[in-house]
Structure 1
Amino acid sequence: MNIQLLPTFLCALTLAAVHVFTPRLTWVRAVPRSRWLSLAGGVAVAYVFMHLLPELAEHERTLRDGAEHPGAVVYALSLAGLVTFYGMERLIRGARERMREEQRVDRASRGVFWLHISSFAAYNLLIGYLLLHREETGWTPLLLYFTAMALHFFTNDFGLHQDHEELYDRGGRWVLAAAVVVGWALGASIDVREIALIALFSFLSGAVVLNVLKEELPEERKSRFLPFLAGVAGYGALLVAI
């Protein structure tokens, strides 16, 4: 286990604070979408494609002693993460549409809300856990991971607030904030094998890509491509330089 308990705990608290305070930033709710949200999404995507997936594929190749198809498990699990969260989003949106058709607004909206929050709480548990169990140790990988996830949370909070408004502000953000810290606590007390860490990071990679793109692509978001591109290019250049 990584022994940097205090630095990673501070990272977990800061990630939790992102959930607590982002809904108060009224300027990010504007349409067209704030350029800062698109830039933050670009950073998270760059981290996944230019740092996380290549490193995971190399680790898998080493563990499998120069396998013929290095990274096969990594990419399959990344795809699984993407498909899982896509399926969850379709389930939630389908339930919301049926709710509107049947005019069961209040009760059903709470059910959809808790389903949505539960899926993201599990997601946050994983992110908090991996603060202590990364594919690489040291300060630089920790800061790269923390920065990408903090900006990713920023965009996620905006989307969840748009979907659930007052329900998210009153309860959802606190559940997600607590989930990050609980995930960190699990990481401090439970170790898993390296191949399991590769699997967890791979799954997370696909989930991050899906969750970024689902916020950027819908027409009603009126997202901004150039800030998104700037986030990808800027963080990508930083990763290459490091």
Structure 2
Amino acid sequence: MPRARVIPCLLVRDGGLVKTRRFGDDKYVGDPINAVRIFNEKEVDELIVVDIDATVQGREPDYAMIENLAAECRMPLCYGGGISSVEQAKRIMSLGVEKVSLSAAAIARPALIGEIAEQVGSQSVVVVLDVKKKMLGGYRAFTRNGKVDSKVSPVEFAQKAEALGAGEIVLNMIEHDGVMNGYDLALASQVRDATRLPLTLLGGAGSLAHLNEAVERLGTIGLAAGSLFVFKGPYRAVLISYPTHAERAALQQIVGS
């Protein structure tokens, strides 16, 4: 049986590692290379790195940074930020990255999902949906650091992404980002039921109990988080952490139960 993956998500701005709350109020938390080295030692399952300004600023991915990160990583690496063409995706993967993630570019031109999948394989194409809950119910996917309403339903777009050749969906809840009060499992259940793609949750995890709750509710999924793995205590002191082997084994027992 596939096992639940526990995935730190690192946000990069101006070459530094930051952590946000609800996609704003970012706090500098260190050097991404140092964080990768620590996560290597902790034998993490996988790592997501996102340059949160590349798309907003209309610039290409920082290939030098990506190459440096990939050279340090001893775990599968997924990179997102500024990818808008097949050529960019292929170049990034040639640097040693296992997966590329698409968000705004995929929503603006969904055919890009299939074009990249055809060149690098579906298993390497991740579609990230940054989502807010509407006041009158339902959800919408947002782009450009949560500022632009795409008018797209995340459930419907997840289905479209699957049909076009995506290999994974990352569901990122904007209002839960950095708050550490748990994932939005209601929306996660809708997306999980609508597609057969591997699903990774992001936004809201603040404790191992939140990871356990997600696995109990949804089964085998990816459990991504930022604050949980970089902050310690109520004053959000910076401390890189990751579940122990025993704690991760407990998650697998939940999956298999």
Q: What TM-score do the two structures reach when normalised by structure 1?
A: 0.25
Bigger fraction of residues in strand:
2
Question: Which structure exhibits the higher relative contact order, with contacts defined as CA atoms closer than 8 Å and separated by 6 or more residues?
Answer: 1
Radius of gyration: which is bigger? 1
Bigger fraction of residues in helix:
1
Q: What TM-score do the two structures reach when normalised by structure 2?
A: 0.24
